[in-house]
Homo-oligomer: A and B are copies of this chain.
Amino acid sequence: MNALRADAARSRERILEVARRSDPKDLRLNEIAREAGVGVGTVYRHFPTSHALVEELTMETLGRLRALAARASADPDPGRGFEAALRAVVDLHLEAGGLQAVLLANEDVSEEVGALKASIFGELEELLRRARESGALRRDLTTAQVERLVCGIEHAIRLGEPEDRDVFVDTLVAGLRPPASTAAGAPSTR
């Protein structure tokens, strides 16, 4: 279907290569065009929006996120799986600056991205459901809300030094546990 012409594929690669070195939160398409030795029109042909470009840059990260969610879901201990996933997800956010924008967007440019996101959210929904049932996660938080809290922590870490990461994530993890948590006991609905 998408038999890209040879020169087009080359341009696309050039653009992506340059874009990868740029800040995903502040992509200047014209500047990228110049650095990639390509016309502005070419960039806009391949990526009509800077968000489209961010999506493309984030694809690989999305793949890793899905794998990570699957692995966490497979953990026999939902609480442990959940916490591990949480930490890994925060790391992913910190590595890939565009992840937050891609995950939060409710409209996706690329269908591939949309499908990946749906798959990821499905997996996470299931993971969190089990975490809630096992008493590892507050019952009054939806998956979408947890996602936003992760974005908040990402924001907080970016405001300061990377060294904040561990304490901040610890803080988040602790905050997500049910209040008045009694170790491993039954969730006892408060």
Contacts and interface: CB of A to CB of B under 8 A. Distances in A.
Interface of A: 104, 138, 140-141, 144-145, 148-149, 151-157, 159-160, 164, 167-168, 170-177, 179
Q: How many copies does the complex hold?
A: 2
Interface of A is mostly: helix
A22 B177 CA distance: 38
A144 B144 CA distance: 28
A172 B175 contact: yes
Given A104-B159, A155-B155, A159-B104, A148 B164 contact: yes
Contacts of A145: 160, 164, 167-168
B148 A156 contact: yes
Given A152-B156, A155-B156, 20 more contacts: A104-B159, A138-B171, A144-B160, A145-B160, A145-B164, A145-B167, A148-B156, A148-B159, A148-B164, A148-B168, A149-B153, A149-B168, A149-B171, A151-B156, A152-B152, A152-B154, A171-B172, A172-B175, A174-B179, A175-B175
